[in-house]
């Protein structure tokens, strides 16, 4: 029996459902028809150890979640992980991610983080040649830092974001609200959460978006993809899953199931 000794690590817990979702996507993106053809995956979902990323980035605490995250990455390495994905867009802020990397380097650990946001811009550049303008949905912290905007612009896209009120009330709040938000309820997602996100996507389309990046790992948990055909919805977690497989077992990578043709409105 072939030994698959490289483990794919998932640093989860931010939120827990996003960790599960990434493992699910790793399974979906693997070309396998029996248990044994599937890839070794370790998921550590330790939500209470990791301070909320936005709370830290907005200066409401001095505790950088990077230290706990580096610790969990070392645990992933201890069970065999050679690469890891972090299913949390906000955690990719340099103030967090750079500190994680320094902490891993300092302690002599070589587990390699695959950068979800950079992978997303590269994937879109490769597979969505017709897209010109990209809208993004994310936490306020990610908007403020331009975490998606910068790599998308570097890849040659125009980037549009929602107006301030929509960013705050329809996007950020739909992620965090403890009554109707996605971190509170994903099974099922509340109607209010779905409605808010659909409204925010409409708004981005009005601003010219041909594609919208669901740039918070909670967002793809809301079943919006089936609900519209006028804009391409891009899921960074799915792209990250494919990148993690490519970096470990490229021969097991499933052919792209979706055709990423852009839904560019025909010009008159």
Q: Where are the beta strands (DSSP E) in 217-257?
A: 232-234
31, 58, 60, 79: which one contacts a copy of itself (CB under 8 A)? 79
Q: Is 14 in the site for a copy of itself (CB under 8 A)?
A: yes
Q: Is 82 in the site for a copy of itself (CB under 8 A)?
A: no
Of 136, 126, 125, whose CA–CA distance to 208 is shortest?
Answer: 136
Choices 8-16, 101-109, 146-154, 196-204; region in contact with a copy of itself by CB under 8 A: 8-16
* Token digits of residue 12: 């989860």
Of 103, 106, 69, whose CA–CA distance to 84 is shortest?
Answer: 69
* Token digits of residue 180: 């109707």
Q: Is 259 in the site for a copy of itself (CB under 8 A)?
A: no
Of 85, 61, 55, whose CA–CA distance to 72 is shortest?
Answer: 85
Computed on alpha carbons and rounded to an integer, the radius of gyration of the chain in Å comes to 18
DSSP β-bridge partners for residue 133? 158
Of 84, 114, 127, 131, whose CA–CA distance to 256 is shortest?
Answer: 127
Q: Is 4 in the site for a copy of itself (CB under 8 A)?
A: yes
Nearer to a copy of itself, 32 or 164 (CB): 32
Closest separation in Å from C-beta 268 to a copy of itself: 39
- Binders of a copy of itself among residues 26 to 45 (CB under 8 A) are 27-28, 32-45
Q: Is 251 in the site for a copy of itself (CB under 8 A)?
A: no
**Which residues contact a copy of itself (rule: CB under 8 A)?**
1-4, 7, 13-17, 19-20, 23-24, 27-28, 32-50, 52, 75, 78-79, 178-179, 183-185, 187
């Amino acid at each position: 029996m072939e030994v698959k000794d490289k483990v794919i690590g998932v640093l989860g817990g931010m939120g827990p459902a996003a960790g599960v979702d990434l493992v699910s996507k790793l399974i979906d993106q693997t070309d396998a028809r029996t248990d044994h053809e599937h890839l070794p995956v370790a998921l550590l979902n330790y939500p209470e150890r990791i301070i909320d990323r936005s709370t830290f980035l907005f200066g409401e605490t001095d505790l950088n979640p990077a230290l706990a995250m580096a610790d969990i990455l070392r645990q992933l390495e201890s069970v065999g992980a050679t690469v890891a994905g972090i299913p949390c867009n906000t955690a990719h802020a340099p103030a967090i991610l750079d500190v994680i990397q320094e902490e891993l380097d300092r302690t002599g650990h070589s587990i390699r983080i695959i950068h979800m946001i950079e992978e997303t811009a590269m994937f879109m550049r490769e597979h969505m040649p017709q897209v010109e303008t990209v809208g993004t949905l994310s936490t306020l912290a990610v908007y403020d830092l331009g975490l998606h905007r910068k790599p998308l612009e570097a890849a040659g896209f125009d980037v549009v974001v929602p107006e301030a009120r929509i960013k705050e009330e329809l996007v950020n709040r739909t992620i965090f609200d403890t009554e109707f938000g996605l971190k509170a309820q994903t099974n099922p997602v509340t109607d209010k959460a779905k409605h808010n996100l659909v409204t925010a996507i409409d708004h981005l389309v009005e601003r010219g978006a041909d594609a919208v990046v669901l740039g918070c790992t909670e967002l793809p948990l809301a079943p919006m993809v089936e609900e519209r055909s006028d804009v391409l919805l891009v899921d960074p977690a799915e792209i990250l899953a494919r990148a993690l497989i490519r970096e470990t077992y490229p021969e097991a990578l499933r052919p792209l199931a979706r055709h990423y043709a852009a839904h560019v409105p025909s010009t008159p």
